[in-house]
Structure 1
Amino acid sequence: MRILLADDHALVRDTISVYLQSEGDAEVVAVPDLGAAMRAADTEGPFDLILLDFNMPGMNGLDGLRAAIRHAPDTPVALLSGSAPNRVAQEAVDAGAAGFVPKTLAAKSLLHAVRFMIAGEVFVPSTVLQAPEAPSDGGLTATLSRREKQVLGGLCRGLPNKEIARELDLQEVTIKLHVRTLCKKLNAKNRTQAAMIARDAGFE
């Protein structure tokens, strides 16, 4: 299967691409914004599925989704997001999306979702449709201490614990404890997912 993935965060692109390629035997073309996705659809297609980050440059909410669907009418187009309000999932499907994929989705579930959408089905996790509205960006960072925000900043830059510890003049074991707390607060399964959630929510 051939997948076009558009996301402005290199960490997200790399993580998803590597997994789909290694576990799903997929060929993934990864680009950083909607404009590049449109060009890739023309020059490197056809694709079996197009995955678009909801918050990347050029999207302008659901306008970018609608534009992509018009641009590639024969290809399923789905939204990928870690911070969009839950109502966006239903609005995206109503606009013609093949699905709504949370970035918090487990890796195996992501692969199943991709195959499901390629098969012509619409994918939206029931937990998204049933869940209360997610907190705003400010809500996400409001739960974190100053030190936790500093550690999270290191995670978002892809730094290992040792480098974060050196940067903040702390012990590496202390960083490990902060990472564990961050994962709990952000409802993330690991440090990579915590960084993905934070960056998608606009944390810098």
Structure 2
Amino acid sequence: MPCILIADDHDLVRDTIAAYLETVDGFTVMTASNFDAALGSMKGINAVDLLILDYNMPGMNGLEGLERARKSHPAIKVVLMSGVANKDVAQTAMSMGADGFIPKRLAAKSMVNAINFVLAGERYFPVDFAEPEQAAAPSANFADLTEREMQTLEQLCIGLSNKDIARNLGVQEVTVKLHVKNLLAKLNVSNRTQAAILAKEQHLF
């Protein structure tokens, strides 16, 4: 059962997110109200799989906290969360090794999807925070996808790798890569995580 640590100094935000995630089957949730408490929990007896770290919080200087968390506990996935950080901050966080960036305005179900993708080894970055040439609104028309591309997309939605998808579909891994490339282009998204989230938000699977 994955253990998620939410570090945020705003009690309402922290407790609301924690309460919601605790309703999701398969999650164990811990909380911390400052950065030092978060570091203490990360080296505690309970193994933490994912740290959701608020960008503005006592004990850390913005992205400095992300850097410290990554260096002190490299095996723990770290997602930066913020209600004020702009696109540049988000992109810098990703370049510094963050496993994802979650805006606080993100819908609850989308946040759960993002967390699941990160836990599955993907990186989450919201479509509307992408570079301008990548930020066009994703197409919700899945009718252009072939049957095999839809099957591939369904496998992406549960976080499987190309190798696992190839084994499940009985095809070569290079074929899966081609299917993924084609469906990303047809859905007008830049990566497999965005494609899977789009599919989940459209309740396809």
Equivalent residue number for residue 136 of structure 1: none
Residues 83 and 44 of structure 1: CA distance in aligned 2, closer, same or farther (over 3 Å): farther
C-alpha RMSD of the superposition: 1.2
For structure 2, which runs of at least 5 residues remain unmatched after alignment?
A: 133-205
Equivalent residue number for residue 200 of structure 2: none
SS of residue matched to 1:79:
strand
SS of residue matched to 1:3:
strand
Equivalent residue number for residue 114 of structure 1: 115
SS of residue matched to 2:130:
helix
Q: Tell me by how many angstroms 1:14 deviates.
A: 0.9
The Cα offsets for residues 135-187 of structure 1, whole Å up to 9 and x where unpaired, read as: xxxxxxxxxxxxxxxxxxxxxxxxxxxxxxxxxxxxxxxxxxxxxxxxxxxxx
Q: Tell me by how many angstroms 1:25 deviates.
A: 3.5
1:53 aligns with 2:59: no
Q: Tell me by how many angstroms 1:99 deviates.
A: 0.5
Identical-residue share of aligned pairs (%) = 45
Q: Tell me by how many angstroms 1:130 deviates.
A: 4.8
Greater fraction helix: 1
Distance between the aligned counterparts of 1:44 and 1:63, measured in 2?
25
The Cα offsets for residues 56-89 of structure 1, whole Å up to 9 and x where unpaired, read as: 1122021110000011110111101001111111
Q: Tell me by how many angstroms 1:129 deviates.
A: 2.2
Length-normalised TM-score, structure 1: 0.62
Equivalent residue number for residue 20 of structure 1: 21
Equivalent residue number for residue 125 of structure 1: 126
Length-normalised TM-score, structure 2: 0.61
Q: Count residues in correspondence.
A: 131
For structure 1, which runs of at least 5 residues remain unmatched after alignment?
A: 132-204
List 4+ stretches of structure 1 deviating above 3 A.
none
Equivalent residue number for residue 40 of structure 1: 41
Distance between the aligned counterparts of 2:115 and 2:28, measured in 1?
13
Matches within 5 A, 1:97-108: 97-108=98-109
The one-letter code sitting in structure 2 at the alignment partner of 1:57 is: P
SS of residue matched to 2:43:
helix
